[in-house]
A and B are shown apart, each in its own frame.
Chain A
Amino acid sequence: MRTSFGERLLDLAVNGFLWGFRILIVVIVVLGTFLTIRAGKYTSEQWIDFVVFGISQGSIYALIALGYTMVYGILRMINFAHGEIFMSGAFGGYFIATWLTGIGFMDKYPVFGLIISMMFGMLVSTLIALLVERIAYRPLRGAPRLVPLISAIGASFFLQYTFRGFFGPGVYAYPSMKALDGEWIFFGIGILKVQIVVTIAAVVMMSILYSIVMFTKIGKAMRAVSENKDVAALMGIDVNRIIVTTFALGAAMAGAAGVLYALTYRQVNFFTGFTPGIKAFTAAVLGGIGNIPGAMVGGLVLGIVESVGPALFLDSIGIPRPYQLKDAIAYIMLVMILLFRPSGILGERVSKKA
């Protein structure tokens, strides 16, 4: 390909800028880490705390990210209403958990109470996701890729303000579960019970999902549809049913995440889904969108970097109020991953396709 001198110069400038950016970020990270560790402001318990906070936040991101990535894997579309699906799960869990707490069930059988709340949250999320799929996405199945994206954004706002209409703009305080107060001690380090439960629940949910996709017939069909819709249809797979199943599974994960998120932060309102939704989308891209283990890894990496990053990278190099830059760290990391590995951490499969 022949290019003019001007184009080559522009190319050089762009590449130079990008390399400069990469080097700058790497220098900040290395220098910041070195200075922070030398300053010794934090004890090792505090470092472990940072990582634990990050893992519990990250496992919630991962659960939500699964929905983004599965739908993308099958339909090549970003379901921007997914954050609101997550929020509806949190609301569903709220009502059942409040009721269970009110009749005293939650205190007597906390494990069952938690499982019932999660089940109900998943149910609500799944129902709403199926409605959204039927009304906002399926009629646009053959349309250009941008059309369902816009429809998804519309669905997102519609759901947000429907919930606002029904439940008002105020916050709802989640009932606190006595069984989850306090900490458990591992090797002399106290870790909050709620974070352990959230992490374990998230890991269990993800293993269930992974087994469904890898080891069942329907999972095989899902993988086939994601490889090639038309050929899968020729092989006798009901593509519509598989798409609906994918939405349902993704939404169930989001619903579970909604309940876990609300358990951790103890409140929910109509806007709850927005920020975690965007963060989870970031996590999905980070891990390699369309790739299920990628979403899990992306979520965890994002959670940990958000939690550890401000203290580790920025605290000691004289940046005041580093926690205001928490989101900036998350998004810069996304840009860095896309620069170094455009297909995401585990994203070979997608890049082969694109």
Chain B
Amino acid sequence: MNKRLFALLSVLVLASMMLAACGAKATETPAKEASEGAATATEAPVAAATEAPVAAFECTDAIGCVDIAPGEPVHIAYWGVLSGPDSSLGEDSKRGVEIAIDDMGGKFQGHDILLTTEDAGCTPEGGATAATKLATDTSIVGLIGSSCSDETVGGIATITNAGLTTISPSNTRPVLTKPDRGPDYAGYLRTAHSDAFQGKAVAEFAYNYLKVTKAATLHDGSTYAQALQQVFADEFVKLGGTIVAQEAVAKDATDMKPVLTTIAAAKPEFLYYPVFVSVGGYVTAQIRDVAGLENVKIAGSDGIFTADLLKGGGANTKGMYLSSPDFSAFTGDYAGFIAKHTAKYGGSTLSTFHAHAYDAANILFAALAKVVVADADGTLHVGRQALRDAIYATKDFKGITGTLTCSPSGDCGAPVIAVYEIMNSDPASWNPSDATNPNPKKIFP
């Protein structure tokens, strides 16, 4: 009997450890102050305020206002995955936001811009935790994030209800910007493409370019991977191909050989696994060890478009295909952005959505500039609904990724997808924006 109690106790302990492990950590990164040297001269007009009492600002906004007193910063928060195997994805976008802030000189109408971050861990639970923390901070004006569609699914209701609006640079799950997505998503827009485009592009690549007719898919249970592989499967069948297997593993799985053996039994010519970094690395490292999959063509998507895949996947990553936003189709000054990125951080970009994050931050600042009300003493007032409406009203915005117009359901992206091939499995060689010797290299369309 004691034994049974003991087993029950251990199960409870395990469960609590799992919950605890999903907790998120917060870090603060104040906006860099190095680049703002000249900006001090533009301090707001302070002198006029003392006499002639101006009619006090009255907040008439439906969901409240943020007031920023003189000397207080304009508080922007970034939420996304900043820890664990997928931290490159979140870190990459965060850099885009930081460069956008640098371009403003670190200041918005005389106020410092403060950027804080909240780790959401690429899980729905992490997203919910981060959203709750963000919702309680009333000084936050606007949000950039999240990284993973799962985080948005977990946190968006809290964010919308707190009167906040977030622009995601990298969520690609189609349903997030569907016209019937529901009122919880009122505070959600994205500059990333929808996977309705990405899945189709990969299907066309596989069927028309690689000329394969039998494909299999594998996902890691995340809403992103689940939806994307399904779009691919549907489009591939429409083109005339056959899907011979659709399998899935848990996000923390490590031994992929059994599931790959099951896939091998279906004899695919092409395996598509648009997963995240952990599963992506393990699958790639083990796939050639499984009898029947030695020569199958393999492809992933933007979730593993990072040098971390090469670290986990090893030599097998050479010749693997990855879909991603098409950098060469960006209409804005992408080369200029890369130059700033290199100057600030050194090395290559970490993942694929830095430019989308840069655009998202600039859309937020442009909307903010439209709705902000400044008192004579420099106090700023921002109506939350007004800001949200202004973001949705974004039209013909000249960003890096293209000329962006936000749809009523929150889609601001300019979706052009390309497929890249990994030319070299050494993580140090990763540099998709290298002019002469890019790795990975664009091969389709």
Are A267 and B255 neighbours in the complex by a CB distance under 8 Å?
no
- The interface size of chain B toward A, counting residues with CB under 8 Å, comes to 48
Set of chain B residues within 8 Å of A265, measured between Cβ atoms: 254-255, 282, 285-286
The answer, yes or no, to whether B171 is at the interface (CB within 8 Å) is no
Are B248 and A311 neighbours in the complex by a CB distance under 8 Å?
no
Set of chain B residues within 8 Å of A281, measured between Cβ atoms: 10, 14
Are A170 and B14 neighbours in the complex by a CB distance under 8 Å?
no
Set of chain B residues within 8 Å of A343, measured between Cβ atoms: 3
Q: Which of A49, A275, A310, A327 lies in contact with B291, CB distance below 8 A? A: A49
**In whole angstroms, what is the CA distance A46 to B262 when docked?**
9
The answer, yes or no, to whether B83 is at the interface (CB within 8 Å) is yes
Set of chain B residues within 8 Å of A320, measured between Cβ atoms: 246
Are A171 and B85 neighbours in the complex by a CB distance under 8 Å?
yes
Are A171 and B281 neighbours in the complex by a CB distance under 8 Å?
yes
- What distance in Å separates the Cβ of A299 from its nearest Cβ neighbour in chain B? 14
**In whole angstroms, what is the CA distance A54 to B17 when docked?**
26
Interface string of B6-43 (1 = CB under 8 A from A): 01001001100100110000000000000000000000
From 150 to 183 in chain A, residues with beta carbon under 8 angstroms from any chain B beta carbon are: 153, 156-157, 169-173, 176
Are A266 and B7 neighbours in the complex by a CB distance under 8 Å?
no
Set of chain B residues within 8 Å of A153, measured between Cβ atoms: 13, 17
The answer, yes or no, to whether B234 is at the interface (CB within 8 Å) is no
The answer, yes or no, to whether B48 is at the interface (CB within 8 Å) is no
**In whole angstroms, what is the CA distance A278 to B253 when docked?**
13
Are B314 and A169 neighbours in the complex by a CB distance under 8 Å?
no
Interface string of B71-101 (1 = CB under 8 A from A): 0000000000001110110000000000000
Set of chain B residues within 8 Å of A42, measured between Cβ atoms: 261-262, 265
Interface string of A315-335 (1 = CB under 8 A from B): 100001101101100000010
**In whole angstroms, what is the CA distance A131 to B252 when docked?**
29
The answer, yes or no, to whether A342 is at the interface (CB within 8 Å) is yes
**In whole angstroms, what is the CA distance A276 to B253 when docked?**
10
Are A169 and B84 neighbours in the complex by a CB distance under 8 Å?
yes
- Residue from B2, B259, B278 whose CB has the most chain A CB atoms within 10 Å: B259
Interface string of B179-197 (1 = CB under 8 A from A): 0000000000000000000
Q: Can you name the residue of chain B whose Cβ is closest to the Cβ of A338?
A: B7
**In whole angstroms, what is the CA distance A324 to B83 when docked?**
24
Are B291 and A267 neighbours in the complex by a CB distance under 8 Å?
no
Q: Can you name the residue of chain A whose Cβ is closest to the Cβ of B252?
A: A275
The answer, yes or no, to whether B298 is at the interface (CB within 8 Å) is no
Set of chain A residues within 8 Å of B221, measured between Cβ atoms: 324
The answer, yes or no, to whether A247 is at the interface (CB within 8 Å) is no
Set of chain A residues within 8 Å of B247, measured between Cβ atoms: 321, 323
Are A172 and B311 neighbours in the complex by a CB distance under 8 Å?
yes
Q: Which of B13, B88, B258 lies in contact with A149, CB distance below 8 A? A: B13
**In whole angstroms, what is the CA distance A54 to B255 when docked?**
9
Are B253 and A285 neighbours in the complex by a CB distance under 8 Å?
no
Are B253 and A326 neighbours in the complex by a CB distance under 8 Å?
yes
Set of chain B residues within 8 Å of A54, measured between Cβ atoms: 258
Interface string of B403-438 (1 = CB under 8 A from A): 000000000000000000000000100000000000
- What distance in Å separates the Cβ of A320 from its nearest Cβ neighbour in chain B? 8
Q: Can you name the residue of chain A whose Cβ is closest to the Cβ of B220?
A: A324
Chain B at the A interface: SS class: helix
**In whole angstroms, what is the CA distance A171 to B85 when docked?**
7
Are B17 and A338 neighbours in the complex by a CB distance under 8 Å?
no
The answer, yes or no, to whether A53 is at the interface (CB within 8 Å) is yes
From 213 to 233 in chain B, residues with beta carbon under 8 angstroms from any chain A beta carbon are: 221
Query: Given A46-B265, A285-B10, A311-B262, does the pair A324, B249 have CB atoms closer than 8 Å?
Result: yes
Chain A at the B interface: SS class: helix
Set of chain A residues within 8 Å of B254, measured between Cβ atoms: 265, 275-276
Q: Can you name the residue of chain A whose Cβ is closest to the Cβ of B16?
A: A153
Are B282 and A326 neighbours in the complex by a CB distance under 8 Å?
no
Are B250 and A324 neighbours in the complex by a CB distance under 8 Å?
yes
**In whole angstroms, what is the CA distance A149 to B17 when docked?**
12
Are B250 and A326 neighbours in the complex by a CB distance under 8 Å?
yes
Are A57 and B7 neighbours in the complex by a CB distance under 8 Å?
no
For the A-B complex, the count of residue pairs with Cβ-Cβ distances under 8 Å equals: 128
Query: Given A45-B291, A53-B255, A281-B10, does the pair A266, B314 have CB atoms closer than 8 Å?
Result: yes
- What distance in Å separates the Cβ of A19 from its nearest Cβ neighbour in chain B? 16
Are A46 and B13 neighbours in the complex by a CB distance under 8 Å?
no
Set of chain A residues within 8 Å of B150, measured between Cβ atoms: none
**In whole angstroms, what is the CA distance A320 to B282 when docked?**
22
The answer, yes or no, to whether B257 is at the interface (CB within 8 Å) is yes
- What distance in Å separates the Cβ of A90 from its nearest Cβ neighbour in chain B? 12
- What distance in Å separates the Cβ of B216 from its nearest Cβ neighbour in chain A? 12
- What distance in Å separates the Cβ of A5 from its nearest Cβ neighbour in chain B? 23
Interface string of A201-228 (1 = CB under 8 A from B): 0000000000000000000000000000
- What distance in Å separates the Cβ of B246 from its nearest Cβ neighbour in chain A? 7
Are B314 and A171 neighbours in the complex by a CB distance under 8 Å?
no
**In whole angstroms, what is the CA distance A275 to B310 when docked?**
23
The answer, yes or no, to whether A20 is at the interface (CB within 8 Å) is no
- What distance in Å separates the Cβ of A7 from its nearest Cβ neighbour in chain B? 16
Set of chain A residues within 8 Å of B315, measured between Cβ atoms: 176
Interface string of A260-282 (1 = CB under 8 A from B): 00000111010100111010010
The answer, yes or no, to whether A50 is at the interface (CB within 8 Å) is yes
Are B255 and A342 neighbours in the complex by a CB distance under 8 Å?
no
The answer, yes or no, to whether B157 is at the interface (CB within 8 Å) is no
Are B258 and A53 neighbours in the complex by a CB distance under 8 Å?
yes
Interface string of B88-118 (1 = CB under 8 A from A): 1000000000000000000000000000000
Are B249 and A326 neighbours in the complex by a CB distance under 8 Å?
yes
- What distance in Å separates the Cβ of B426 from its nearest Cβ neighbour in chain A? 10
Q: Can you name the residue of chain B whose Cβ is closest to the Cβ of A308?
A: B258
Are A171 and B261 neighbours in the complex by a CB distance under 8 Å?
no
Q: Can you name the residue of chain B whose Cβ is closest to the Cβ of A347?
A: B3
Q: Which of A149, A156, A171, A310 lies in contact with B259, CB distance below 8 A? A: A310
Q: Can you name the residue of chain A whose Cβ is closest to the Cβ of B266?
A: A41
Query: Given A170-B87, A192-B289, does the pair A285, B265 have CB atoms closer than 8 Å?
Result: no
- What distance in Å separates the Cβ of A301 from its nearest Cβ neighbour in chain B? 15
- What distance in Å separates the Cβ of A158 from its nearest Cβ neighbour in chain B? 13
Interface string of B305-326 (1 = CB under 8 A from A): 0001011101100000000000
- What distance in Å separates the Cβ of B358 from its nearest Cβ neighbour in chain A? 24
Are A78 and B10 neighbours in the complex by a CB distance under 8 Å?
yes
Are A327 and B250 neighbours in the complex by a CB distance under 8 Å?
yes
Interface string of B257-297 (1 = CB under 8 A from A): 11101101100000000000110011001100111000000
**In whole angstroms, what is the CA distance A7 to B4 when docked?**
19
The 3 closest A-B pairs by CB, nearest first: A321-B248, A323-B259, A173-B311
Other than the given A50-B258, A176-B314, A310-B262, 9 more pairs (CB < 8 A) read: A49-B257, A170-B87, A171-B312, A173-B312, A192-B289, A267-B282, A323-B258, A334-B7, A351-B3
Give 15 CB contacts A-B under 8 Å.
A50-B258, A57-B255, A169-B83, A169-B85, A170-B311, A171-B277, A171-B308, A172-B311, A173-B311, A192-B289, A267-B282, A269-B85, A278-B14, A323-B250, A323-B258
